[in-house]
Amino acid sequence: MSRSEQNPYETPIQEAELVSDARAAGDSTGGVIPYKNPAALSAYYLGLFSIFPLIGLLLAVPAFVLGVIGLRARKRNPAVKGSVHAWIGIVLGFIFTLVWGACVFVIIFGLFAGMSK
């Protein structure tokens, strides 16, 4: 005897309804955007925008630092998501700190080399 045959007034619960109810209880983004971990989210965006040449070095260093802070927040409270965003911020921040730091070094070295002639 199935569940609906036991009680004719009860409607069967569909699995899709249970999934949608669980998502409704959480956040509307489905956990994609870590709004509870602003450091990780900020690190992600700063890391992405550090690709641009003129502002890259100014954004890459904070991306790295905020990524580490975001990972620590995730470690303290596993309910706070954002470890992927934090790692992206750390990796991009590190890479572009090296890239733009090397560019600044080459420019300064070139200026001093040109002045000594």
Per the domain annotation, does 55 fall within a domain?
Answer: yes
Look at residue 105 and tell me if it is in a domain.
yes
Residue matched to tokens 């750390």? 90
pLDDT at 28: 63
In a domain, 71, yes or no: yes
What is the residue range of 111's domain? 34-115
How many distinct structural domains can be found in the chain? Answer: 1
Asked if residue 72 belongs to a domain, the reply is: yes
Compute the distance between CA of residue 71 and CA of residue 44 in angstroms, rounded to an integer.
12
Would you write out the chain's pLDDT as a tens digit for each of its 117 residues?
A: 555 556 666 555 555 554 454 444 456 666 677 788 899 999 999 999 999 998 999 999 999 999 999 999 999 998 888 899 999 999 999 999 999 999 999 999 999 988 876
Whether 60 maps to a domain, the answer reads yes
Q: Is residue 28 part of a domain?
A: no
Q: How far apart are CA 74 and CA 31, in angstroms?
A: 14
Q: Report which secondary-structure segment, H or E, holds 91.
A: helix 83-115
The pLDDT score that the predictor gives to residue 116 is 74
Domain for residue 6, yes or no?
A: no
Evaluate if pTM is beyond 0.85.
no
CA–CA gap between residue 43 and residue 26 (Å, rounded): 24
Residue with the two structure tokens 């641009």: 52
pLDDT, position 22 = 43
Q: Is 38 contained in some domain?
A: yes
Phi, psi of 53 (to 5 degrees): -60, -50
